[in-house]
Structure 1
């Protein structure tokens, strides 16, 4: 998304967990939205490996590398936290309300229901 020239708006319409929360946060600054009753969850990557000890060590090293990269991406897009803050937040599943996600810096605005009077006024002018 960072390489698309057009601004990319993101919106959470119910739940954005795991990688979806990263995509939500990576939208164009000022255009990252959530509905008021949505839930957003961040956490560190998970995985599993089998096989020889050497292969398991290779996979463990890779998942730690990915975790470090994802933490830096979250930090870049939230702009409110140190890397240590992000590492602490993603240590376990961390669920947030839309309000908490706004405070955390994952979104920029909580969308509210349209004003009914505006809809009624529009329909009378048709």
Structure 2
């Protein structure tokens, strides 16, 4: 009986298998630049392109590394090409980097100022040194007068009528003068158009600025010439920052004598950016479970 049982257990169909069941091979994401599906507007076919190419086609440029000559030339070529394709659409420059070399960074800045297309800048992490300088180079808030000859003539006529009929010291004259000032204020208020700036940052972004630095070697005259050139570039940067932020040149020169760090709110108050990108406001009446929904 025992021998027959052992014989049955030794049969291939009755053997107990100890190894684990096989699983499907795990597919890992390939190492390298991610690729995403993209369809060119007006075409029905999709194609796989790298993530940077897809962003470029949407007029989005990303500075996430040290700015050297090669990277600067790539950004410049992309900007010039997009500006040639359509100069009415805005470009977006996302910044999350430590800055870089002086000359390549200035080349990007000068190109941004010469383009017909508006350029918006956005700090998503940190923007140090010349990367912070490029952040301030975006399209800022502008107040543009829109006086017309008709409005100017109306103000002149109204002022002449008031000047001829006014009797100083009387109640009626005081009322007429107050009415004219109210009219003038409303006219001036309606005669200016305000365009919101497109320089923004995330709430936890960090921005740091300092005076440009450099190195020189050689004869004494060569070192002196390099120092004078660096001082000239420093004054140029300070003047541009003064225009972009509205701060006096002397204040900027004093603040940036050493590295000055800004949080997002500090950068907004200083004039480096125009707004802070925040999550949608949470209703105070919502409970804890409802208030946290949708924030990721």
The TM-score with structure 1 as length reference comes to 0.88
CA drift at 1:114: 4.1
Correspondence for 1:87: 253
What is the alpha-carbon root mean square deviation over aligned residues? Answer: 1.6
Matches of 1:115 and 1:73 in 2, distance apart? Answer: 35
Matches of 1:100 and 1:88 in 2, distance apart? Answer: 17
CA deviations on 1:90-111 (whole Å, 9 max, x unpaired) are 1110000000000000000000
Matches of 1:17 and 1:73 in 2, distance apart? Answer: 17
Counterpart of 2:208 in 1: which secondary structure? Answer: strand
Matches of 2:227 and 2:116 in 1, distance apart? Answer: 36
The TM-score with structure 2 as length reference comes to 0.38
Match status 1:3 vs 2:110: no
Correspondence for 1:123: none
Correspondence for 2:230: 63
Matches of 2:277 and 2:220 in 1, distance apart? Answer: 50
CA drift at 1:2: 1.3
Matches of 2:261 and 2:271 in 1, distance apart? Answer: 14
Q: 1:18 aligns with which of 129, 134, 158?
A: 129
CA deviations on 1:24-68 (whole Å, 9 max, x unpaired) are 101001100000000001110001111111111011011000000
Instruction: Look at both structures and tell me which one has the larger radius of gyration over its CA atoms.
Output: 2
Correspondence for 2:138: 27
Larger relative contact order, structure 1 or 2 (CA cutoff 8 Å, min sep 6): 1
Matches of 1:90 and 1:4 in 2, distance apart? Answer: 28
Matches of 2:263 and 2:281 in 1, distance apart? Answer: 23
Counterpart of 1:12 in 2: which secondary structure? Answer: strand
Match status 1:96 vs 2:233: no
5+ residue gaps, structure 1: 121-126
Counterpart of 2:200 in 1: which secondary structure? Answer: strand
Counterpart of 1:75 in 2: which secondary structure? Answer: helix
Matches of 2:114 and 2:256 in 1, distance apart? Answer: 26
Q: 2:273 aligns with which of 107, 112, 123?
A: 107
Counterpart of 1:9 in 2: which secondary structure? Answer: strand
Matches of 1:31 and 1:89 in 2, distance apart? Answer: 24
CA drift at 1:115: 5.9
Matches of 1:115 and 1:72 in 2, distance apart? Answer: 37
Counterpart of 1:92 in 2: which secondary structure? Answer: coil
